[in-house]
Chain A
Amino acid sequence: MTMTEAAAAPSPPLWRRLLGFNLLTAIVLGVGGWYIGWYGAHKIVAPSLDYFGDIDYNELSVYFAYIGGVLGFLVGLGFLNYPVRRLLGYPPSLREKETAGWTRYFGLCTDHKVVGIQYLWGIGLFFFIGGLNAMLIRTELLSPHHQAFPAGTYLTIVGIHGTMMMGIMTSGILGPFANYLIPIMIGARRMAFPRIEALTFWLLMAAGAVLTTTVFFGGFPTGWTGYAPLATESNPGLDNYVIFFALVGLSMTLLGLNMIATILTMRAPGLTWTRLPIFVWGVLSTAVLMVLAAPVLIATLGMVALDRTAQTTFFIPAAGGSNYLYENLFWIFGHPEVYVLALPGFAIVLELLPVFARKPLWGYRLAVAGLLGVSLLSWFVWQHHLFVSGINGDLRGFYMLSTELISIPTGLTFLCGMMTLWRGNIRFTVPMLFVLAWFFNFLIGGLSGVFLSDVPSDVTTHGSFFSMAHFHYTIMGGLVFTFFAAIYYWVPKMTGWQLNERLGKIHFWSMFLFFNLTFAPLFAVGFLGQPRRTPVYPNGLQFLNDWVSISAFCLGASMLVFLFNLVWSLAFVKKPAGANPWASRSIEFQLPSPVPVHNFDRIPVFSGDPYGYGEGPIPSLVPAGSPAGRE
């Protein structure tokens, strides 16, 4: 069956599709796999491990259960179909190559555009779950000593919030937007590895489900950093955390690999490195970090799992291990991880500014150097998380310098963005508003980072709400705002429907206002001595904490405005957006909305970058007389 024949074949009736390999089957098989793992481990492994007898549960069962569950889930989705069919000698089933129908979104589909939209909804779901936990945290912190939640549960809520956000939002921009747009931007019809692309999405969904069930196993008290000696003695809920990050790490590694392979090998003719959209450069620099950093996390958490189940002592000092081993390994992953979060934000800002300032991207090569420089330098700074841990004193000066140095390439993004705006013709559309807010938020985040990178100042602020405000300004103020910019900018292209502009502006202004009202006072709270992850604090800080909590609730409410806009505009109003609602020169906006299944009728030939504002008309996609590309 060729692709055209598969596309033209009538799709099977609904009842047949429900019984096939899809999300429903996956959930059923996942639950089944979970129980097989759980009881299998109890029956086969547990009886011989009598040192677990006193504590009434079998750690290995939890791991086997969830591994069984995830495997069942992936089998149910159909990921083994192709290898198994080929091994048995049958032709591939090509169900995964269906090109129409809403059921494609609820199973394994190898169309990169479908995967992009799946990611958008999946990440949105877990983002809201993480956000809900944030609201619960602020509820607890309304009172200096009254407990809304028992102390151990509060730590689990803090842990779920942090872990969910860090795990899910690392793919926040690459998942939905890179998957959807990279092939289009480089003139390709698909990603290099479409089935792996789909796998990264479903791994992330399985991971999110694993983490939300941690409450049934007692939660975990370590926060998202999972520091080792405490992790070893935690309840089984910590195993959910380990499995979550293992699956996220796997998803990240594969996603990064796919991006690198696609960008390196599948660019259309004429698309030289200096003509690549800056978004593609951003994705490339992020993907490199993902591929190199995520495996470190998987290995580290594997060691934690071994300590908890197999009585190894990697991180137990009394038996020859060291907590420093965990801290260093974790942060070798952890610091590039936060740049995985920040870099896509930079890329989106630089990609959107030319469109709404109507000027070419200023300093293209400088911007690329900035992105790659951040990517490279992010490997050399991790011990700034460990300044007061008792690391060798000589190291602190070095890491202070390297951390300060990373603000130079970051500054290049600011420079290129600011000079793009300069003398431009600025339109304040909703995506542009979010992009401009990035400058404000990331500036504050970055400057507070300067305080934290200075060791004497870090002694004041490490482990306090000051550092929390810093990373919320950079990650939430940086990444989440650009995430929404990307949504407002590209969803009309992805769906063909416009998002309501007035609701978008209400969403933006309320989110921007309440975001700053929430996180700005936290700098003061940290300076005044409130440590992180504590449910009680001195009475004198109640006013500030209450201010922050109320603002946080309002921030949560502003997200509901966005949700309403999304559902209202895309399901009810359905106003057509047209091919190019933003008058952009970028290639995806020269295609119809939504982008057709095979992206291009003919593979385009590039003759310049997409930033030629003021330099003449947009060159046609396939110039007359160009070589006959693939159909």
Chain B
Amino acid sequence: MAADPAAAPGRPTDSTHHGRRVVIAWLVLSAIATPLVAIYVGPHIPPGNASVQAEGQTFDNQVMTAFVTPVLCLMAVFFGYGLILFRARRSETILDGPPIRDDPRIRLLWIVITSAMVLFLAGFGTYELLKDGAGGGQGPNPIAQPAGYRSAFQVQVVGQQWQFTYRYPSLGGMESNSLLLPANTLVELHITSLDVVHSFWAVELGLKADANPGVDNVVYVKTKKPTTFHVRCAELCGLWHGYMFNNGRVVSSAQFASWAAQEQKIYASIKPFMDKSPADGGAPYAHTYLPEPTRRAG
């Protein structure tokens, strides 16, 4: 079936305004699909509304999903239309199509539209990011600090192989296995690691910050109503990386206070050791830790 391309006659150009048809079909499809997506898919988009940061991320994701829908519609209409209408008819000779090599208007239109879309997305994302940090770790010198950050409730998340533990400096440096946060409070989390790189991911609260050894990674969250959330490690840290998870809770202030009292009782017997200086094997509250790499004597 090897036809000689030299002899292939051109297919007659037809004057139907295919382009116009595609554009109209696309506009109609987008006008239907985008609201449908926004109304029916939108509310299910993670991470949900358990914290102000999570709400911001969810809004961001919803806007982008709605933004992406017309793009998908365009591709669907274009390819659906084009692949059907411009199919080669079954024949022995292979016919060539019209030798169209360029169209300056389409070039310009495409570049302008794609650039505008991209710049809008970048601007929108930057705005959302700078509002309150969007739940992402900002390093030791955060620049996107929510209102009232100076009096935020401080919690330190310590990552080690292979468990997260949590320190509360305002409760006498108390450390605990469980992460409880008071409701309706701006919390400033300081994430650090004692060994390799981990990543603290509080799924429903929309927080993710890498735990780097010897570095303080600050992330803000404004909690809302009492709820439970999952904490997972999101950076491969070795053997039990997949098992490095626990459940955290956001509880009312009263419950938080009673929990804190209970935990402090348990903590009391290890506190004297914790408060010693690092040279004596202690770990008094500090934003970063650089423990000795090897502690084996001899």
Contact = CB atoms under 8 A, between A and B. Distances in A.
Any A–B CB pair closer than 8 Å: yes
A233 B294 CA distance: 12
A388 B208 contact: yes
Given A360-B100, A418-B78, A614-B97, 18 more contacts: A155-B236, A229-B195, A230-B237, A316-B293, A317-B212, A317-B290, A327-B197, A358-B8, A359-B100, A362-B100, A364-B102, A390-B209, A415-B110, A422-B100, A424-B86, A425-B86, A447-B71, A529-B232
Given A393-B141, A426-B88, A585-B5, A230 B134 contact: no
Given A155-B236, A454-B60, A393 B144 contact: yes
B43 interface: no
17 contacts: A230-B238, A317-B213, A317-B214, A317-B290, A318-B213, A319-B293, A358-B97, A363-B102, A408-B115, A422-B86, A426-B83, A436-B79, A451-B64, A454-B124, A579-B2, A612-B99, A613-B8
Contacts of A397: 126, 129-130
A18 interface: no
A153 to B, nearest CB: 10
Contact of A400 (B2, B125, B238): B125
A456 interface: yes
Contacts of A391: 139
Given A423-B86, A439-B79, A456-B60, A393 B142 contact: yes
A431 B94 CA distance: 17
A408 B141 contact: no
A617 interface: yes
B265 interface: no
Contact of A222 (B11, B191, B236, B292): B236
Given A358-B8, A359-B99, A389 B118 contact: no
B281 interface: no
B20 interface: no
B6 interface: yes
A393 B139 contact: yes
Interface string A413-438: 00100110111111110000000100
B121 interface: yes
A151 interface: yes
A411 interface: yes
Contacts of A549: none
A525 B87 CA distance: 38
B150 interface: no
B261 interface: no
A447 B68 CA distance: 7
A230 B121 CA distance: 36
Contacts of A428: 87
Contacts of A421: 82-83, 86
A408 B57 contact: no
A346 B121 CA distance: 24
A358 B94 contact: yes
Interface in B48-77: 53, 56-57, 60-61, 64, 68, 71-72, 75
A221 interface: yes
Given A363-B101, A439-B75, A463-B201, A423 B110 contact: no
Contact of A389 (B4, B46, B212): B212
A218 B118 CA distance: 46
B99 A323 contact: no
Interface of B: 1-8, 10-11, 13, 18, 45-47, 53, 56-57, 60-61, 64, 68, 71-72, 75, 78-79, 82-83, 86-88, 94-103, 106-107, 110-111, 114-115, 118-119, 121-122, 124-126, 128-130, 134-144, 191, 195-197, 199, 201, 203, 206-210, 212-217, 230, 232-243, 290-293
Contacts of A426: 82-83, 86-88
A447 B114 CA distance: 13
Contacts of B129: 396-397, 400, 455-456
A407 interface: yes
B101 A407 contact: no
Contacts of B242: 151, 531, 533-537
B58 to A, nearest CB: 8
Given A404-B118, A460-B47, A229 B197 contact: yes
Contacts of B240: 151
A312 to B, nearest CB: 13
Given A400-B126, A463-B235, A457 B78 contact: no
Interface string A527-569: 1110111111110000000000000000000000000000000
Nearest to B200: A388
Nearest to A395: B139
Given A447-B68, A450-B68, A454-B121, A462 B208 contact: yes
B97 A531 contact: no
Given A400-B122, A614-B97, A531 B232 contact: yes
Residue of A323, A411, A443, A460 ringed by the most chain B CB atoms within 10 A: A460
A427 B11 CA distance: 14
A454 B234 contact: no
Interface in A351-376: 357-364, 366
Contacts of A531: 201, 232-234, 241-242
Contacts of A535: 242
A405 interface: yes
B146 to A, nearest CB: 13
Contacts of A533: 236, 241-242
Interface in A574-624: 578-581, 583-585, 611-615, 617-618
Given A404-B118, A425-B95, A457-B61, A230 B236 contact: yes
A45 interface: no
B230 A388 contact: no
Nearest to B5: A583
A564 B121 CA distance: 46
Nearest to B67: A450
Contacts of A585: 5
Contacts of B103: 362, 419
Contacts of B114: 407-408, 411
A396 B232 CA distance: 23
Contacts of B94: 358, 425, 427, 583
Nearest to A360: B101
Given A229-B195, A411-B114, A462-B234, A425 B68 contact: no
Contacts of A360: 99-101
Given A388-B209, A404-B121, A531-B234, A229 B135 contact: no
A394 B57 CA distance: 19
Contacts of A155: 236, 238-239, 241
Contact of A584 (B5, B72, B99, B130): B5
Contacts of A427: 88, 94
Contacts of A358: 8, 11, 88, 94-97
Contacts of A408: 111, 114-115, 118
A223 interface: yes
A459 interface: yes
Contacts of B56: 456
B125 A357 contact: no
Contacts of B239: 151-152, 155, 221
B135 A459 contact: yes
A227 interface: yes
Nearest to A221: B238
Contact of B210 (A388, A464, A615): A388
Residue of A412, A533, A579 ringed by the most chain B CB atoms within 10 A: A533
B45 A323 contact: no
A292 to B, nearest CB: 25
A390 B140 contact: yes
A70 B229 CA distance: 51
Contacts of B125: 400, 404, 453-457
